[in-house]
């Protein structure tokens, strides 16, 4: 019986040996290919709903420098806010299109587009729980912000009579301090800043040049 079974199986074993061998790709699924081309750089974000709105050199909450300047793009990032188109009336009758973001009955953001581009440009943060890279918050006193007065200047235009400050190595962010009672177009004395200046706005400029290390 054993010898007969061997004679029957021999041709079958020979055919199996001569058949096509499985390729490595047949043994396991191939790893997905890495993203490439125009879709490789994607503006990824987490929608803002509540809590601190963090600001740094790269973003204002879920808004980054490559975020499109459209209602759809901003609404997707602030699903619980009122996001509207508006116009900013500037000097000499110029009207600049902006997008505003209001949440919990408070105006949070005023967003302007980057000139000559389809992305966001300047973002003003004048309300809400905004928090700067070193924990700065709106209505903070100038003394608590620990800024160098040599990096502050008197404001112009819509920032007239306010004091605009920056930090070393932070080319994108500006800190705007209101100084109640100050109506001159020159810097207030340091003592006046210490007594009266209050952080009224963050101004984020998405297209600002990145400073060299140590700048």
Give the C-alpha separation, 165 to 167, whole Å: 7
Q: Look at residue 94 in the predicted model and tell me its pLDDT.
A: 77
| More confident position, 14 or 82 | 82
Domain ranges of the chain: 53-205
CATH classification code of 53-205: 2.60.460.10
Give the C-alpha separation, 38 to 179, whole Å: 47
Per-residue HEC secondary structure of 122-186 comes to EEEECCCCEECCCCCECCCEHHHHCCCHHHEEECCHHHCCCEEECCCCCCCEEEEEECCCCCCCC
Mean pLDDT value across residues 21-25: 41
Indicate if the pLDDT at residue 82 is higher than 50.
Answer: yes
Indicate if the pLDDT at residue 24 is higher than 50.
Answer: no
DSSP 119: B
- Name the 3-class secondary structure at 53: strand
CA trace torsion 71, 199, 209, 84 (10° rounding): 10
Give the C-alpha separation, 202 to 124, whole Å: 6
Residue-wise pLDDT for 28-45, tens only, equals: 333 333 333 333 344 568
Give the C-alpha separation, 81 to 66, whole Å: 21
Give the C-alpha separation, 47 to 62, whole Å: 6
């Amino acid at each position: 019986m054993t010898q007969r079974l061997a004679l029957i199986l021999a041709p079958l074993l020979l055919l199996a040996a001569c058949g096509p061998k499985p390729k490595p790709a047949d043994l396991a699924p191939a790893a997905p290919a890495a993203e490439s081309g125009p879709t490789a750089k994607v503006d990824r974000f987490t929608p803002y709903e509540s809590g601190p709105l963090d600001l740094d050199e790269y973003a204002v909450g879920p808004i980054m420098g490559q975020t499109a300047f459209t209602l759809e793009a901003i609404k997707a990032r602030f699903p619980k806010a009122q996001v509207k188109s508006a116009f900013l009336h500037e000097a000499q009758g110029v009207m600049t299109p902006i997008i505003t973001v209001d949440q919990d009955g408070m105006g949070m953001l005023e967003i302007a587009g980057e000139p000559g581009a389809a992305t966001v440009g300047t973002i003003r943060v004048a309300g809400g729980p905004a928090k700067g890279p070193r924990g700065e918050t709106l209505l903070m006193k100038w003394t608590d912000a620990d800024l160098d007065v040599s990096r502050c200047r008197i404001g112009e235009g819509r920032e007239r009579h306010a004091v605009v400050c920056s930090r070393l190595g932070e080319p994108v962010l500006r800190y705007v301090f209101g100084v109640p009672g100050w109506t001159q177009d020159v810097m207030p004395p340091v003592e006046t800043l210490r007594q009266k200046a209050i952080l009224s706005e963050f101004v984020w400029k998405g297209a600002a040049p990145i400073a060299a290390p140590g700048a």
